[in-house]
């Protein structure tokens, strides 16, 4: 289970939410990506609610973060590592699930990326921010690379297990190197404010 | 039909929307919770659109609020009562519907709460605010209590009708007492701004 | 394919997003309306992802807008025309698809409008703005008129092709006249700030 719920807490700096709000943000950050994937491929009810452990774990994580303030700051290096590992796991497993539902390769990549980044997007929207993943950092691109490797391996009929491991390592490594070297994508140039 | 659409109007203070915007907010506040529940349990098309009365009633309520300004303020005590009654009705019926689709108890509670509070969340997101329900007031907790009673009664194989009545009264009463005594959940302590 | 993705770029004035953000906004603006319609009528996976061309075209449009800054401003008259044409196409085809899934007339109109305006709503929410379509301009009303004509024609058992053409022309014309004459819907009167 991805620790995105912990990262959700950092978002609270400008938005005071109550205990229930923390639990909702925690659940959303952990499951919204896979939940949207399952709705899109027609796998209702989504695994995120049909398996009660997917509900319980983010709730417990949210309670922990709520009752032990400062835990995210103290464990911030571990949080970054677990978040990158979760991104890799989600992107790879999301792509695999989309492939088993016979979607085209482009859609499988898209759903793998959505599984990886969807939770963070919903979390940011709930606290009224433009999702971080749209603005900066090599985050989506790392999940894109992992998802593309899974699709390519499936297309070449390579054995799934080593392909998944390679894809996950690529995503994980790319994310960590991007943090370490502070890599970013180019930013859109805004239109000049003076309308001609 | 819950009068969440009336409450939607109070949101317009900082956001000038036009007639169409009022109708969208009214429809979203009244139906988005049940609509998301139906998507999640795989009951497409959702009752909120397959039954035309669920479309018509919030549209009429929205028109009323739009053409009779001040009606929400004058009827504010009635609005609070109807809103609490709607919350109880939605939480109980949402939980029951989830149980009939064979979801686990935790998911049934979650979907009952979602049915009760989902409309207000979507309404707040559409006017660009952090959803009230995440920030303050005993609102979600009241629906949680009602949903939990329904699930408990189902688990103990108690007769559904008295269980539903008890659950609805608990939710309704808890909500009104919370307003009367100004109860709130604890607020998340924000991380200190100085990053060490 | 609607050029809403180009219009998405205008939104970037206040929100600096990166290349990935531009692609997400472009894909969302182009497909979110039809995607929500398909989820609501139970047509999973939605056409927007099961047909890879619906993924590729907005991605290419997003890349074009990103790499050729100023293109939206230079082509702004064409963008407005294509956007109105896309609105008409989406509203009419969305209503037709809802009717083939045996939804009631009110729901078919609602889904037609959603197909037309849903992409712009999601795009605006992602960059943290109150959706333009809720605030001003005859945009939703134009799609409403087109959708209503399709439903009326279906109810009167008129031949589909001329009905669709009439509906699309009505929507397209209404939108252009509304821009030309600067028509708007009445705005909701905000409640007085002093609570009695």
Mean pLDDT by 10 residues, chain A (196 residues): 49 68 92 95 91 92 87 84 93 96 94 95 91 84 96 95 96 92 72 40
- Collapse the DSSP code of A150 into the 3-class scheme (helix H, G, I; strand E, B; otherwise coil) and give the result: helix
> In this structure, are residues C70 and C142 in contact, taking their beta carbons and an 8 Å threshold?
no
CA pair distance A188, C21, nearest whole angstrom: 9
**Residue A114 domain flag:** yes
Q: What confidence tier does C195 reach under pLDDT thresholds 50, 70, 90?
A: very low
Q: Where are the alpha helices (DSSP H) in C68-139?
A: 71-74, 76-100, 105-126, 132-135
Q: What confidence tier does B44 reach under pLDDT thresholds 50, 70, 90?
A: confident
- Tokens standing for B145? 């209590």
CA pair distance A141, C148, nearest whole angstrom: 43
CA pair distance B5, B18, nearest whole angstrom: 15
Crossing angle, helix C19-41 and helix A140-155, to 10 degrees? 60
Higher pLDDT, C154 or C128: C154
CA pair distance B121, C27, nearest whole angstrom: 24
Q: What confidence tier does B194 reach under pLDDT thresholds 50, 70, 90?
A: very low
- For residue C32, the chain A residue with the least C-alpha distance is A40
Q: What is the pLDDT of residue A66?
A: 87
CA pair distance A21, A31, nearest whole angstrom: 15
Contacts of A9 in chain B (CB under 8 A): 188, 191
Residue B18 β-bridge partners: C187
* Helix (H), strand (E) counts: chain A: 10, 0
Contacts of C128 in chain A (CB under 8 A): 128-130
Residue % of chain C over a pLDDT of 70: 88
CA pair distance C149, C171, nearest whole angstrom: 10
CA pair distance C44, B38, nearest whole angstrom: 14
Note the pLDDT tens digit of each residue in C63-89: 998 888 788 888 888 888 999 999 999
CA distance to partner chain C, nearest, from residue B66 (Å):
6
**Residue C186 domain flag:** no
**Residue A190 domain flag:** no
What is the mean pLDDT of the segment spanning C163-179? 94
CA distance to partner chain B, nearest, from residue C147 (Å):
15
**Residue C99 domain flag:** yes
**Residue A165 domain flag:** yes
Against chain C, the chains showing at least 3 CB pairs within 8 Å are A, B
Q: Give B100's contacts (C-beta < 8 A, 6+ positions apart).
A: none
Residue C189 neighbours by CB distance under 10 Å: 12
CB-based burial label for B154 (10 Å; 0-12, 13-18, 19+): middle
Q: Where are the alpha helices (DSSP H) in chain C?
A: 4-10, 19-41, 47-50, 52-67, 71-74, 76-100, 105-126, 132-135, 140-155, 160-181
Is A19 within 8 Å of chain B by CB? Answer: yes
If one counts the domains in chain C, the total is: 1
Contacts of C125 in chain A (CB under 8 A): 125
**Residue A188 domain flag:** no
Q: What confidence tier does B68 reach under pLDDT thresholds 50, 70, 90?
A: confident
- Collapse the DSSP code of B20 into the 3-class scheme (helix H, G, I; strand E, B; otherwise coil) and give the result: helix
**Residue B189 domain flag:** no
E strands, chain B, are none
Residue A18 β-bridge partners: B187
Q: Give C68's contacts (C-beta < 8 A, 6+ positions apart).
A: none
Q: What is the pLDDT of residue A150?
A: 97
CA pair distance A187, C70, nearest whole angstrom: 15
By C-alpha distance, which of C125, A45, A28, C40 is closest to B35? C40
Contacts of B107 in chain A (CB under 8 A): 45, 49-50, 52, 55
Q: What confidence tier does B50 reach under pLDDT thresholds 50, 70, 90?
A: very high
**Residue C139 domain flag:** yes
Crossing angle, helix B19-41 and helix C140-155, to 10 degrees? 60
Q: Which domain holds residue A118?
A: 4-181
Residue C11 β-bridge partners: none
Is B151 within 8 Å of chain A by CB? Answer: no
Q: What is the pLDDT of residue B3?
A: 52
By C-alpha distance, which of B116, B12, B24 is closest to B73? B12
Match 């952990």 to its residue by tokens: A30
Q: What confidence tier does C11 reach under pLDDT thresholds 50, 70, 90?
A: low
CA pair distance C31, C50, nearest whole angstrom: 12
What is the mean pLDDT of the segment spanning B38-57? 92
């Amino acid at each position: 289970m991805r620790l995105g719920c912990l990262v959700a807490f950092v978002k609270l700096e400008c938005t005071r939410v109550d205990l229930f709000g923390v639990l909702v943000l925690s659940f959303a950050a952990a499951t919204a990506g896979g939940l949207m994937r399952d709705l899109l491929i027609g796998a209702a009810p989504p695994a995120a609610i049909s398996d009660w452990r997917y509900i319980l774990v983010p709730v417990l994580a949210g309670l922990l973060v709520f009752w032990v303030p400062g835990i995210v700051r103290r464990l911030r290096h571990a949080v970054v590592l677990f978040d990158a590992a979760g991104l890799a796991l989600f992107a790879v497993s999301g792509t695999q699930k989309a492939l088993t539902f016979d979607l085209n390769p482009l859609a499988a990549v898209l759903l793998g990326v959505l599984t990886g980044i969807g939770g963070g997007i919903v979390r940011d929207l709930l606290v009224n921010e433009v999702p971080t993943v749209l603005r900066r950092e090599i985050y989506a691109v790392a999940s894109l690379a992992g998802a593309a490797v899974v699709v390519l391996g499936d297309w070449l009929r390579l054995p799934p297990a080593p392909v998944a491991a390679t894809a996950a390592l690529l995503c994980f490594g790319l994310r960590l190197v991007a943090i370490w070297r502070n890599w970013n994508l180019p930013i859109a140039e805004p239109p000049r404010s003076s309308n001609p």
